[in-house]
Structures are given as C-alpha cells and as structure tokens.
Amino acid sequence: MGQEEDTAAGLDAQAPVGRGLGEVLFLESLNQRISSAFRATVISMANLGIRAAFCLLGPLVGYGIDGWGLPSVLSALGILFSIAFVFLLLPLILSETAPSPADGLRA
C-alpha cells in the first residue's frame, strides 16, 4: 500500500467515529439547552449549515487536490478538523463530565 492508500484507509476508519461522536455530543447538548418548541427548527438549521459547508468545501477540496495533490490536502483537512474538534467539541465533552456545584449540594 502506498502513502495515499494508507491515508485514505485511515480517513475511512475515522470519519464514522468522528461524525458519530460529534452528532451525539452536539445533539445531546442542543437538546438540553433548547426548548421543545424550537428544537426541530434549530436542528434543521444546524443540518442546513452542515450541508452548506459540504457544498462549499467539496469544490475547494477538489481544486486543492488538483493543485497540491491528495496527501497534502488530506493532511491539511486533518489538521483543520482536529483544531475544530478541540475548540468546538471538547468544551461539550468537559461540560458533560464536570460535576456542577449543585451536585455537591444534593448529596
């Protein structure tokens, strides 16, 4: 296997895990913060934003692959999405696992 095949195989394995983790954390956080009257609208708008991002990123990734090659673009995307994961999803993970001050009062 070449470097490009190794990279593609790694992304194939990580994509479902990353997407599942992101959706579970995001939707759980959203469900706790949004009232049921607006929940469907907010989830629909969030999904619209995700689809719009794919519509914008798809052609840009294609042009990048044509210009710089597959390994370079995949590496750049990996770095970009890793940074996005840290800044967007890590706070949700920490808020789920951190005990609140009210928990100490209940005991």
Domain ranges (residues) in the chain: 33-94
Contacts of 33 (CB under 8 A, 6+ apart): none
pLDDT of residue 87: 84
pLDDT of residue 107: 45
Q: Mean pLDDT of successive 10-residue segments in the chain (107 residues)?
A: 57 64 74 84 88 92 94 90 82 66 51
* Number of residues that make up the chain: 107
Q: What are the Cα distances from residue 73, in Å, to 27, 50, 63?
A: 29, 20, 10
pTM for the structure as a whole: 0.56
**Of 34, 21, 39, whose CA–CA distance to 88 is shortest?**
21
C-alpha 34/C-alpha 45 separation (Å) is 13
Taking a C-beta distance cutoff of 8 angstroms, is the pair 96, 28 a contact?
yes
